[in-house]
């Protein structure tokens, strides 16, 4: 892992981007026997750690190693009420999406900039869901 800094202090660049975690998490880094609270920023192709607080930061070489602890792990995704309602109205199963698919759908939906775009995106997500199986009466 690498190290760089600016007027805000050091930024620690991980050799591999964290996948499956929301960005801007807080965590802690164990490095050289010291536990350092960090802010975790996962960008398009890199994850960067920024030490926070007044804790002691050990002097790091250009390349260093440590253990990153994520207190909250993967954040559970919860579908908004309007998406759940639309799926139910259309007889579609929102629960059929796995965690990655749901995260993708919710990100797509959350990036809507107007009510019209949000409605269109809800319609697109719902149309891609499998139909509910109705039992014979």
47-72 per-position pLDDT tens digit: 888 888 665 677 777 788 888 887 66
pLDDT digits 0-9 by tens, 87-109: 999 999 999 998 878 988 998 99
Contact 40, 72 (CB under 8 A): no
pLDDT band, residue 24 (cuts 50/70/90): low
**How are the residues of the chain apportioned to helix, strand and coil, as percentages rounded to the nearest 5?**
30, 25, 45
* pLDDT score of 23: 63
Given the structure tokens 């930024």, which residue do they identify?
A: 11
Instruction: Dihedral sign for Cα 63, 61, 6, 74, please.
Output: positive
With a cut of 70, say whether residue 134 has pLDDT above it: no
What local confidence, expressed as pLDDT, does residue 36 receive? 85
Residue 75 is encoded by which pair of tokens? Answer: 């954040």
Residue 106 corresponds to which tokens in the numbers above? 């919710």
């Amino acid at each position: 892992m690498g190290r760089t800094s600016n007027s805000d202090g050091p930024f620690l660049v991980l050799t591999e981007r964290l996948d499956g975690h929301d960005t801007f998490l807080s965590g802690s880094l164990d490095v050289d026997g010291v536990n350092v609270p960090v802010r975790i920023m996962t960008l398009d192709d890199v994850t960067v750690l920024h030490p926070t607080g007044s804790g002691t930061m050990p002097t790091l070489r250009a390349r260093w190693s440590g253990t990153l602890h994520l207190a909250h792990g993967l954040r559970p995704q919860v579908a908004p009420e309007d998406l759940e309602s639309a799926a139910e109205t259309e007889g579609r199963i929102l629960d059929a999406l796995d965690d990655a698919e749901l995260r993708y759908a919710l990100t797509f939906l959350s990036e809507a900039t107007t009510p019209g775009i949000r409605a269109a995106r809800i319609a697109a997500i719902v149309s891609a869901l499998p139909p509910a199986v109705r039992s014979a009466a």
